Homo-oligomer: A and B are copies of this chain.
């Protein structure tokens, strides 16, 4: 993408309405614009991040056998009357009447709809288990939307739902999803710690939330250092084996980890002092096992091998995809701007042409740009160098390839790594090899 032609409106000043750093940086870097209270439009760079995150989430869901569907944003109130939640759900549910005065609502979550779709399609134990997910916009009519996409009203969520024949199989589904989540967050370039959670209004007996550690997080967190620096991508777990899954689950959940809401000071005191870690975290995922709550309420059953009718055991598993964009920035930024993890950056590198109009500079920049026009953002504007450096730091590209007139003559560039600030004077070939291998 050539910056001179792109729709990437950066702001020099901090917008007054933004109270937290991720919100400020998302507005300043031109990722989003608010279009109504708690509702955002995603501009090209923001959308790329949103899509990169979605793709990693999708790959890890698929990897544990979940199948993607896409349920609509609007739901019939009748569905929610069947589960009994229509009246129970508070003012955060956006209730709508259509032209025929039929009651609709903008889905805040999809337990009812997926249970109904499952019930229409699956009648027999032979077609079990099933795990279905979708990545779709949801709406929760927050009293006071704030913090940008971290607490918006229209937000993008991945929600998965598992259907199993019995409790043991449901627990295996839960363990599989925990593995998928740990792998997902690691691939997103952030550390997320699972913490036992209150099951709250969704109900059920088993629940964990995943928190990204960030100094500006909304919850206090307490955890055992044994949970740090685990490499989940390098942890082979046979997802077909309940025993292997159980061992993995034990390994994840044995060390102490809790938010301030669930903090148990007695257990905390038992953690060796040198391993106690306190900090703050942003919730980006939540998984629940809630058994037969919805299948019973909505009378959705399947025939078991012995001919009896049984109500499937369910779990639901959410990841806040749009929220993650903000949460990752909270965890990964400095005073100059965003520091994108390479896996989700909108552009792999910026090419900074320090003298637009200089033949050598222009030619070298074009040559580099053409190596990967989709992943390189070419700053071809006639601005001064300082403005280009500042924008590149603000936007947070993992690499900056700086092309100045003197070094360009020798086919050399300065390569800066955004995360560390390291700069190296390199031949174009060496710089490209480093960037493209990342």
Contact = CB atoms under 8 A, between A and B. Distances in A.
Interface of A: 5-7, 9, 30, 33, 35-37, 39-44, 47, 50, 65, 67-76, 79, 91-92, 94, 96, 98-99, 102, 104, 106, 113, 116-117, 120-122, 130, 132, 137, 139, 141, 143, 153-154
Contact of A41 (B30, B39, B72, B102): B72
Contacts of A37: 102
Contact of A154 (B69, B73, B139): B73
B104 A65 contact: no
A120 B9 contact: yes
Contacts of A99: 91-92, 141, 143
Nearest to A41: B71
Given A41-B71, A50-B70, A67-B7, A33 B154 contact: no
A69 B32 CA distance: 9
Contacts of A33: 117, 120-121
Contacts of A44: 67-69
13 contacts: A6-B67, A7-B130, A9-B120, A35-B79, A36-B76, A36-B102, A36-B104, A41-B72, A42-B70, A43-B69, A73-B154, A74-B154, A99-B141
A143 B106 CA distance: 20
A312 to B, nearest CB: 14
Given A104-B36, A113-B35, A69 B7 contact: yes
A141 B101 CA distance: 11
Nearest to A128: B5
Given A98-B94, A141-B99, A40 B72 contact: yes
Contacts of A36: 72, 74-76, 102, 104
Contact of A72 (B5, B69, B116, B154): B154
B35 A71 contact: yes
Nearest to A47: B70
A75 B7 contact: no
A36 B105 CA distance: 11
A28 to B, nearest CB: 13
A430 to B, nearest CB: 30
A102 B38 CA distance: 13
Closest 6 CB pairs of A and B: A9-B121, A36-B76, A42-B70, A41-B71, A91-B99, A39-B72
A143 B98 CA distance: 10
A117 B35 contact: yes
Nearest to A120: B33
B132 A7 contact: yes
Nearest to A139: B74
A395 to B, nearest CB: 15
A47 B72 CA distance: 12
A141 B98 contact: yes
B141 A35 contact: no
Given A5-B65, A69-B43, A35 B96 contact: no
Contacts of A75: 35-36
Nearest to A381: B126
A137 B36 CA distance: 18
A120 B40 CA distance: 14
Nearest to A112: B35
A407 B258 CA distance: 60
Given A33-B117, A41-B117, A94-B98, A72 B137 contact: yes
Contacts of A41: 69-72, 113, 117
Contact of A96 (B6, B65, B94): B94
Contacts of A137: 72-73, 137
Contacts of A65: 5
Given A36-B104, A96-B94, A102-B37, A121 B7 contact: yes
B68 A35 contact: no
